[in-house]
Structure 1
Amino acid sequence: MMKHTKLLLAGMLVLAPSFSSALAAPLVATGCEAKRQDIVQQIDYARAHGNSHRIAGLEKALSEVNANCTDEGLLAERESDVRKKEQKVKERRQELAEAQADGRADKIIKKQQKLEEAQAELNEAKRMLNK
């Protein structure tokens, strides 16, 4: 019996740090709550810098989020945004292919830059899916 108690205590001591760190880690807000927190943070920043016009706009945005935001609706918007950005990347790839077929270096460079911008926008839209 004593052997089991010592083993149990040793196990608890080994696991205690991982439990305490798990409890200390803050939960990351997602969806509408994350959007609310972001707006509140921006309001605090605007107040700290005396930007009354920005505060008014952000307070209106916060009111809209509080009244109308649902996690399901926000996710649907973000998924739609990803689909639009994917379509834009597809179009930019086609434009680049056409420029490459023409062989004009100046157009190729311009189309490559537009493709990279579209890909960056798509990556950001995908990142927002999990926020």
Structure 2
Amino acid sequence: MKHTAQIFALFIASAATSAALAQASPACEAKRAAIEAQITQANAQGRTQQVAGLEKALAANKAHCTDAQLAAERDKDIQQALQKVAEREQELSEAQAKGDAEKMAKRRAKLQEAREQLTEAQKPLLPQGH
């Protein structure tokens, strides 16, 4: 009888673990919803190649998404954006040193774009309120 109770307890614990693994995290759900919205937009604009890529990303999200994986991707994106900002700042400094007004304007615009990409990369994984 004791052996049966232990087996039953292991079965319940295993089922609970499987159920927990089957439920996607809120961050993964948010990412999935964002990808689905992009698919809808790309379909509406007739961008079939983009739709195919997004559907591949959605399948990968459904199969492999974890909070740790999303956090790692976010950290990588932030580091790349920080590097791009630093490069753009250097380019602007060089243009300023030469005194070329046209190049300075172009470099400022590129720096602003890089800063916007950094801001985007730094957004939280989950929308506020979750």
Shorter-chain TM-score above 0.5: yes
Deviations 1:28-87 (A, max 9, x none): x8421101223344556678x5x6x47665443322111111111111111110011011
Inter-CA distance 125–71: structure 2 relative to 1 (3 Å threshold): same
Query: What TM-score do the two structures reach when normalised by structure 1?
Result: 0.63
The corresponding residue for 2:83 is 87
Stretches of structure 1 that go unaligned for 5 or more consecutive residues are: 1-28
Inter-CA distance 106–69: structure 2 relative to 1 (3 Å threshold): same
Query: What TM-score do the two structures reach when normalised by structure 2?
Result: 0.63
Q: How does 1:23-102 map to 2 (within 5 A)?
A: 30-42=26-38, 53=48, 58-102=54-98
Provide the rounded CA distance (Å) in 1 between the counterparts of 2:91 and 2:39: 41
Identical columns (%): 49
Inter-CA distance 99–41: structure 2 relative to 1 (3 Å threshold): closer
Match of 1:107 among 103, 108, 122: 103
- Residues 61-70 or 75-84, more deviating: 61-70
Structure with higher Rg: it is: 1
Offset of 1:91 from its aligned partner?
1.1
Stretches of structure 2 that go unaligned for 5 or more consecutive residues are: 1-24
Q: Is the partner of 2:123 in helix, strand or coil?
A: helix
